[in-house]
Amino acid sequence: MILSSLDKIVRRNLLEKSMPLHWWLEYFLHAAAGLREMSFDSLQIINTVSLPINSYSAFDMPDDFVDDVAVCIPMGQFLRPIPKNDSINPIRITDTTGNFIPYSDAATNPQTAGLTFFDFSAAGYWFWNINDFGEPTGRYFGGTGGDRMNGYKKIKARRQIQLTETYQSDSAILIYISDGSRADDLTQIDVEAFAAIQAYINWKRSPNADMKDSPEARTFYNERRLLRARLNEMSVTDLRNLIHSTYSASIKN
């Protein structure tokens, strides 16, 4: 992969416009703004960080967090993605001193009760339909699959991602989309975005900076559309494999 930097793009644009280096800061501000705008949909900057889990099974979002791609459990060389769980309670509870505590530490917590109804445990009914030889006789309904121990929920009001209290690790790998707010003159970006960022600078330096239907704006939109096509990694081989993987062999009479 060939990378470029915002400094190279700005200096090249200054040379093309026959502008002195004194205009570098203004051009750079427009370039950083263009990078931020394109990072939402076209030139998505994907960051991966390892974050520690606090005492109530949550971790803070990074400062440049826009949206999540995945939350994973580190398992050596591999990552195990965990599903979203929108039923997680976003309200935290505290002890008598005002410190945040897990729900499992609360005195009255329905999660610690298990499968109980009116102080009667129904967990034993899981093995109810078996014969004298220990063989299941069927007629059990409601046993679902999926990962119920690990899950997460984005809570933007707290700027945190809350995990289930049964999360099986002391750290989490967060893969997320950055807004490009941490961009500086040495920020490395794909060279395919060179022309798109130049078009954004020219648009914002023109008298039509506030018009989204101006000729300069349309030039930027066309360059951004071309950038999306360049960044699309779908090939004919991938497309054929996707179609072939949907077929399966079966016995024919």
pLDDT, one tens digit per residue, over 197-242 is 999 999 999 999 999 999 999 999 999 999 988 888 888 898 888 8
pLDDT of residue 244: 86
Number of structural domains the chain divides into: 2
Task: Tell me, yes or no, whether 70 and 155 share the same domain.
Answer: yes
Task: Tell me, yes or no, whether 243 and 172 share the same domain.
Answer: no
199 membership: H or E segment, kind and range: helix 194-205
The pair of structure tokens assigned to 67 is 């949206």
**Do the domain assignments include residue 74?**
yes
Q: What is the pTM of this model?
A: 0.60
Q: For residues 118-132, give the mean pLDDT.
A: 59
Residues listed for the chain: 253
CA dist 220 and 118 (Å) reads 65
Q: Which residue has the tokens 């500086």?
A: 184
Task: Tell me, yes or no, whether 172 and 192 share the same domain.
Answer: no
Q: For residues 46-60, give the mean pLDDT.
A: 89
Output the furthest CA–CA distance in the chain (Å, rounded): 91
Task: Tell me, yes or no, whether 166 and 212 share the same domain.
Answer: no
Task: Tell me, yes or no, whether 8 and 32 share the same domain.
Answer: yes
Task: Tell me, yes or no, whether 114 and 64 share the same domain.
Answer: yes
Domain boundary among 155, 179, 203: 179
Task: Tell me, yes or no, whether 69 and 146 share the same domain.
Answer: yes
CA dist 204 and 224 (Å) reads 15
pLDDT of residue 89: 87
Percent of the chain whose pLDDT exceeds 90: 36
Task: Tell me, yes or no, whether 107 and 228 share the same domain.
Answer: no
Task: Tell me, yes or no, whether 209 and 145 share the same domain.
Answer: no
Residue 1's domain comprises 1-39+180-247
**Do the domain assignments include residue 195?**
yes
Domain boundary among 128, 160, 179: 179
Q: Cα(first)–Cα(last) distance of the chain, in Å?
A: 52
Cα–Cα distances in angstroms (integers) from residue 89 to residues 13, 152, 158, 165, 243, in the given order: 51, 11, 12, 11, 41
**Do the domain assignments include residue 241?**
yes
Angle at 102 between CA 96 and CA 107, to 5 degrees: 55
**Do the domain assignments include residue 62?**
yes
**Do the domain assignments include residue 237?**
yes
Task: Establish how many alpha carbons lie within 13 A of residue 14's alpha carbon, considering only the half-sphere containing its beta carbon.
Answer: 18
**Do the domain assignments include residue 89?**
yes
Task: Tell me, yes or no, whether 109 and 95 share the same domain.
Answer: yes
Task: Tell me, yes or no, whether 73 and 93 share the same domain.
Answer: yes
Task: Tell me, yes or no, whether 121 and 242 share the same domain.
Answer: no
Domain boundary among 179, 212, 237: 179
**Do the domain assignments include residue 253?**
no
Strand partners, 152: 84, 163
Span 65-108, pLDDT tens digits: 888 889 999 998 899 999 998 888 888 888 888 788 887 755 44
